[in-house]
Amino acid sequence: MHATLTNLKTLMEDMESSPKRRTRNNVKRFYKTVEDNKIKPKLSGLKDIAGYEDVKKQIKTLFVLPLKQPQLYLNRQSQKTLLLFGPPGTGKTQLVHALAAETNADIYSLTASTIMSAYIGETEKMVEIMFKVMKHVPRISILFLDEIDGLCRKRHGSEQDHNRRLKTEFMCQLSNFDENPQSFLICATNCPWDLDTAFLRRFNNRIYVPLPNRFERVELLRLYTKDTVLYNTFPFWEDLLNITEGYSCSDLNDLVRNALLRPVNELNDIKIWKLVDDTHYIPVSKVSVEEFGEHLRFCNLEELPDKSVRARDATLEDLLESTNEVKPTVPLREIERFDEYIKWH
């Protein structure tokens, strides 16, 4: 709290030069927006990112090691900015959280839409404040700007004035970002081809985060099935790995979630239940004449006592069946577009 107030004071002094009262009031409001978007990392480190060894290695070399082993970087330029690009759901946001955890940093996570929500004509002030806050942060911090394409699209002739001013301010702040002692800037986008080239030029470090390859799909599926019965189906994933080519990390996560829910979902159609160990009911699909007896109950799921129903275990079959229900979300033409893009950038 104390650090925050000190920051605000320094910031206000910094902004003192502004003669307009409205601008000064907005400074406070924008400052609050930036502070309100400060979050703690949701992961405990890069080890929580399955696969993507190359990407993790690059991030370690660029941002983690300089803090932990600074002597290695005496004659090497320290890196302050990074652009992550790739299809949706490939773990760009996760990587930022993992890096923040590794470096014990706070994340100031803002999207283009949050920045643009400042009054028209004041957005460039919002950008200025955001960067000023980063200059005064009391500890290591990451400014994470997601959907950066919403802010730094290629310039075009018919662009409105306030948009142009916003971009100019942004570029100007970017150029000076290296001077910030304790902060990094990470931007992420799904459409790097829309980005202004002047903006791209200011990012020496650009990392492509692609869809997971076969090996990474194994790692991800193992992570998502960990602590579940599906984990043991691992030796039989050959078909699954073929079918899931083109799935993003979050598609695979959805797939596993779907497979685990299938046995529960099925219970909605069950009309016959068998009482086991006096308190629990399990679903019965067919009953033979010999099985008729007191331990059977004919009713819908809702009629059974709370906490009394058991479902069958999920199986490999459920995983495979789920691929019919959970389809890859990234269209093939978009992957081709990324392939083409990285050839030239």
Ligand X SMILES: Nc1ncnc2c1ncn2[C@@H]1O[C@H](COP(=O)(O)OP(=O)(O)OP(=O)(O)O)[C@@H](O)[C@H]1O
Residues that bind Mg ion (CB under 5 A): 92-93
User: In whole angstroms, how close is the CB of 87 to Mg ion at the nearest point?
Assistant: 11
CA-wise closest residue to 247 among 221, 208, 225: 221
Give the C-alpha separation, 84 to 93, whole Å.
Answer: 9
Nearer to ligand X, 16 or 194 (CB): 194
* Cβ atoms 223, 50 nearer than 8 A: yes
For 89, 212, 254, the CA distances from 325, given in Å and listed in that order, are 18, 20, 10
Site stretch for ligand X (CB under 6 A), options 2-10, 43-51, 173-181, 272-280: 43-51
Q: Which residue is nearest to Mg ion (CB)?
A: 93
**Which residues are 273's β-sheet partners?**
283, 297
Site stretch for ligand X (CB under 6 A), options 5-13, 245-253, 282-290, 334-342: 245-253
Q: Which of 8, 198, 223, 296 binds ligand X (CB under 6 A)?
A: 223
Nearer to ligand X, 61 or 250 (CB): 250
Considering CB distances under 5 to 8 angstroms, the limit depending on partner class, which of Mg ion, ligand X, none binds residue 121?
A: none
328 binds ligand X (CB under 6 A): no
52 binds ligand X (CB under 6 A): yes
Give the C-alpha separation, 199 to 179, whole Å.
Answer: 18
Three-state DSSP at 84 gives strand
CA 246 to chain centre: 18
Give the C-alpha separation, 272 to 282, whole Å.
Answer: 9
Binding mask 247-266 for ligand X (x = CB under 6 A): --xx--x-------------
Considering CB distances under 5 to 8 angstroms, the limit depending on partner class, which of ligand X, Mg ion, none binds residue 223?
A: ligand X
| 330 φ, ψ (degrees, to nearest 5) | -95, 115
Q: Which of 39, 70, 72, 88 binds ligand X (CB under 6 A)?
A: 88
109 binds ligand X (CB under 6 A): no
DSSP 293-331: STTEEES-GGGSPTT-B--PPP-HHHHHHHHHHS--SS-
Nearer to ligand X, 139 or 327 (CB): 327
Binding mask 167-206 for ligand X (x = CB under 6 A): -----------------------x----------------
Q: What is the dihedral of CA 225, 60, 203, 111, to 10 degrees?
A: 40
Nearer to Mg ion, 92 or 125 (CB): 92
Give the C-alpha separation, 254 to 332, whole Å.
Answer: 19
Considering CB distances under 5 to 8 angstroms, the limit depending on partner class, which of Mg ion, ligand X, none binds residue 249?
A: ligand X
**Which residues are 183's β-sheet partners?**
141
Nearer to ligand X, 55 or 267 (CB): 55
Summarize as ranges the residues that interact with ligand X (CB under 6 A). 49-52, 88-94, 190, 220, 223, 249-250, 253
